Amino acid sequence: MVDGDPEQLKEVFVNLIVNACEAMGDGGQILLSEEEGVTDPMGRVAVIKVSDNGPGIPEAIGEKIFQPFFTTKEEGTGLD
């Protein structure tokens, strides 16, 4: 069991995968993996890893990517 809103979790994963596809251009691979972990203070957790073999995040924007409303897309909101 995972404590979370299934629709919001789905939206997170769809957005991660779509963004990875767009960043990689033609070709590339996306890898999804899951495992069970333990962390304080939450106890048992599900660990979901999403990785790809795209170009990566430029160092100049690395610290900005978790800020709300930050985007590198012309039509983006930074929240999708």
Residue-wise pLDDT tens digits, 36-71? 999 998 899 999 999 999 888 889 998 898 888 888
Residue 74 has pLDDT above 70, yes or no: yes
pLDDT band for position 29 (50/70/90)? very high
DSSP string, 8-76: HHHHHHHHHHHHHHHHH-SS--EEEEEEEEEETTTEEEEEEEEEE-S----GGGTTTTTSTT--SSTT-
Question: Using one digit for the tens of pLDDT, what is the confidence trace for 9-24?
Answer: 999 999 889 888 888 8
- The pLDDT value recorded for residue 38 is 93
pTM listed for this prediction? 0.70
